[in-house]
A and B are shown apart, each in its own frame.
Chain A
Amino acid sequence: MEPKDHIDNTINHLFRQESGKMVAVLIKIFGTENIELAEDVVQDALVSALETWKYRGMPDNPRAWLYRTARNKAIDIIRRKKHSKTIDFSDPERKLLTSEYTLANTMKDFWKEQHIQDDFLAMMYACCHPDISQENQITFILKSLCGFSTKEVAKSFLTAEDTISKRLYRTKEYFRKNKIRPAIPFPEEIGTRTSAVLSAIYLMFNEGYNSTHDDQLIRKDLISQAMWLCKSLLDSAHTQLPEVYALMSLMCFHTARVDSRITEQGALILLPDQNRSTWNTELIRLGGNYLNQAAFGDTLTTYHLEAAIAYQHCTASSYKATNWKEILKYYDLLLHIDNDPIVSLNRCLILLELHGPEEALEAIKEIKDHKILDKYYLYHAILGEIHERLIQLNTAVEHYQQAIQLTQSKPEQNCLQQKIARILN
């Protein structure tokens, strides 16, 4: 590898890993009313790193170098803005930044390892405040905590860059107006607040996992960032909750199969046809470990059950050998927690495997909220499958065609087209 490439790669990696943490610490120093200032300092530190390392080579500890540079830049800004109203120095935590007697040491304190980790988690909880829409939560997390550029965030959501800028602006305004002080929630509310964080992480993950993008890099980035955020929760004693382990386990199982779901040309491969030897056994093992760790206390979340289902799929030697009975039990438990029509729909697929198309069709008729389902491509895809097995081929084709109308995803459309072609030939 050329030295320059090596530096670029290291910077890219460091940027993703550390920029969010540095932003979190700097937001603590400058206040949530100065998020841009915090982001600018991080940006500056990265530019300095790139310029300096290019000439002098990489330092022994690039991370420490980066932190020290950001810290010194923060000191410069504090000195410059001491008499302006930008930063609220009346805050007791910031008072000691105003005097040279205490500035340097107070600053050092802000950058202690334990504080960095806590500030980062606190920022995650702040981003996932219930008053901020989930869309805006994830946008902000990707931009500020995961070091995505606005362009990359726009790509992740298949949205225009302006839309992303607007979302970011709204979230920053929310922080500014409400003078939000990021903090890890107290034990009495850690459960509900963590559930909001986990659902943002899972949504980010699914954006990468299910997404319709052609851009493989962005998809892998989303998946790895979601897992990294979840891992940071597991690294802190305050936030090691059973549901966090469960989600981590679920993401490991899904990720283990991610490469087998799509051909090199971007076509979908369905579970029965996936090459199980390409599944990542290390991730399946890890997922199993996390699932064991998730089994403490009396918390049973949808993540636990979804992970248990994914575990059954991952450990079945073939599609035929899948333990559908066990999986059906988990679906029943899932419906017990939340009577979600989409879950009911997926349960019908299990019934189809276990008891055949008649029973599956009965069950699908019993699901409430048909109006919602009627607009959902998977509903028609499943009905198509059931009718195909019942050898009611015309009805099957009709449903497949309706499903094609209802999905935006090219690979899914192609997959459904193939099914129609299979029937017609």
Chain B
Amino acid sequence: MKQFMFLFKGGDDVWDAKSTEEQNAHMEEWMQWIGQMAEQEKYVGGERLYPAVKTVHPGGTKVTDRSFVEAKELVGGYITVMAETIEEATEMAKGCPGLQWESSVEVREVWPDEA
């Protein structure tokens, strides 16, 4: 088994535009999705990130209050999971509820793998 990280990007605007009830219902879907992976012992852990960003630019002196990247590229959180191949991990990522709220999921293998 290899470890993969799902990076959730974008979708903050959609989140902000929803009501608390809608947000709660949405988080219930996240719970279902992650819960299923946990039941199969494929879920490792993860964190959610606040949208505020400070970027330290190359060289280390210049700091800006916004992201280096566009809003739809902004990482909003990550989880790590176990899978045999990046293809399997990608199939798992397709269940992410954020995809319905204009987030994208970037699937990356964690380096180095735990052989």
Contacts and interface: CB of A to CB of B under 8 A. Distances in A.
B35 A96 contact: yes
Q: Which 9 A-B pairs have the closest CB atoms?
A: A105-B31, A100-B48, A99-B46, A101-B30, A102-B31, A102-B34, A95-B38, A98-B45, A101-B48
Contact of A96 (B28, B34, B48, B77): B34
A101 B41 contact: no
B31 A99 contact: no
Interface residues of A, number: 11
Nearest to A95: B38
Contact of B38 (A92, A100, A104, A105): A92
B87 interface: no
Contact of B43 (A95, A100, A104): A95
B93 to A, nearest CB: 14
A100 B47 contact: yes
A96 B77 CA distance: 15
A106 B45 CA distance: 14
B31 A106 contact: yes
Interface string B37-60: 011010101111000000000000
A101 B105 CA distance: 15
B112 to A, nearest CB: 22
B79 interface: yes
A306 B9 CA distance: 69
B24 to A, nearest CB: 8
A95 B45 contact: yes
A96 B46 contact: no
Interface of A: 92, 95-96, 98-102, 104-106
Contacts, number: 40
B50 to A, nearest CB: 10
Given A98-B45, A99-B47, A105 B27 contact: yes
Given A92-B41, A104-B27, A105-B27, A99 B48 contact: yes
18 contacts: A92-B41, A96-B38, A99-B34, A99-B45, A100-B48, A100-B77, A101-B27, A101-B30, A101-B34, A101-B48, A102-B30, A102-B34, A104-B27, A105-B27, A105-B28, A105-B31, A106-B31, A106-B35
A96 B43 CA distance: 9
Given A92-B41, A95-B38, 7 more contacts: A95-B43, A96-B35, A101-B34, A101-B77, A102-B31, A102-B35, A105-B27
A98 B43 CA distance: 11
Nearest to A100: B48
Main SS at interface, chain A: loop
Contacts of A106: 31, 35
A96 B30 CA distance: 11
A104 to B, nearest CB: 7
Nearest to B44: A95
Contacts of B31: 96, 101-102, 105-106
Nearest to B35: A96
Nearest to B45: A98
B38 to A, nearest CB: 5
Nearest to B49: A100
Contacts of B48: 99-101
Contacts of A92: 38-39, 41
Nearest to B27: A105
Contacts of B38: 92, 95-96
A13 B28 CA distance: 34
A104 B26 CA distance: 12
Contacts of A104: 27
Contacts of A98: 45
A71 to B, nearest CB: 15
Interface string B47-82: 110000000000000000000000000000101000
A200 B34 CA distance: 42
Contacts of B35: 96, 102, 106
Nearest to B28: A105
Nearest to B34: A102
Nearest to A109: B31
Nearest to B97: A101
Contacts of A102: 30-31, 34-35
Contacts of A99: 34, 45-48, 79
Contacts of A100: 47-48, 77
A96 B47 CA distance: 11
A101 B46 contact: yes
Interface in B1-49: 27-28, 30-31, 34-35, 38-39, 41, 43, 45-48
A281 B35 CA distance: 53
Contacts of A95: 38, 43, 45
Nearest to A101: B30
Q: Which of A92, A95, A101 has the most CB of B within 10 A?
A: A101
